[in-house]
Amino acid sequence: MDKAKLWFWILLDVLIGFAAINLFFFVMPALGSFRDSLTPVRTITISAQGMTTATPDMAEISFSVLTQGQNPQVLADNNNSKMNAVLQFVSSQNIASSDIATTGYNLQPNYQWDRNTQRNFITGYTLTQTVEVKIRDLNKVADVLSGLAPLGVNQIGGVNFTFQDPNKFVALARADALTKAKKQADEMSAQAGVSLGEIVTVNESHYLPGPQPIYASAGVANEMSAPVVPNIAPGTQDVTDSVTVIYALK
């Protein structure tokens, strides 16, 4: 009986030891992590907006070759011949093939209403091929525009200025917003007579301007004289970033 009691107390001591080790190495850290994850009772919320002004470094142009005719096959051959010449010209301006994309190829019949039969009948066809080009060297924009119409381009959508890497400008605006938020938080906590603690959460929203059109010329005739190309002036665009920061108060 005494031997059984001895083994009982030994087993109990071992279990208590394991429980203590588990409490020290696993339970306490878990409780600490849970405590740290809780939002502090005393907080201060700050909203601020940052901004940076940048000059666009890329232009996007969209243009089409529109051809009309009676025979769809002849129409396609004529249109493709013009567009191939246009694409060859664009490539000669040191524009990478990855920056040239066909965005539309549309063949549509042209209808006319016959009052006698009370029906529509096909009078011919219209084929429209549309291409979008990214120009990363803004000095090339005027040369590209001036060379399109003589090769058969009869619809020019315009020139849009944008950024090759917009994220770097968003980062600058974000840094400005966070600096303003910290300054405001320091001022408010000092005025309230409390100490500013760590950041609890940060929420962000940014505004990046869309492409800004500065030039457009369009026509539907089979022949169009070369447009007067303007001086290319991309100007500047404002990139903004807004943050809402929650600070703990000590």
Element of type H or E holding 19: helix 2-22
pLDDT tens across 9-23, in order?
666 666 776 666 766
Q: What is the mean pLDDT of the chain?
A: 83
> Smallest Cα–Cα separation from 158: which of 214, 211, 120, 111?
214
User: How distant is the alpha carbon of residue 223 from its chain centre?
Assistant: 37
Report the SS3 class of residue 119: strand
**Which of 28-37, 39-48, 195-204 is predicted least confidently?**
28-37
Task: Report the percent of the chain where pLDDT is more than 70.
Answer: 76
How far is 85 from 79, CA to CA, in rounded Å? 10
Joined tokens for residue 117: 């039969």
pLDDT of residue 226: 46
Contact 37, 72 (CB under 8 A): no
- The single residue listed with the structure tokens 């060859």 is 88
Asked if the model's pLDDT at residue 80 lies above 60, the reply is: yes
How far is 178 from 70, CA to CA, in rounded Å? 64
Q: Which of 69-73, 132-136, 203-207 has the highest mean pLDDT?
A: 132-136
pLDDT tens across 194-249, in order?
999 999 999 999 877 665 554 444 443 334 444 555 566 788 889 999 999 999 99
Q: Domains of the chain by range and CATH?
A: 43-53+167-207+243-249 (no CATH), 58-163+212-235 (3.30.70.2970)
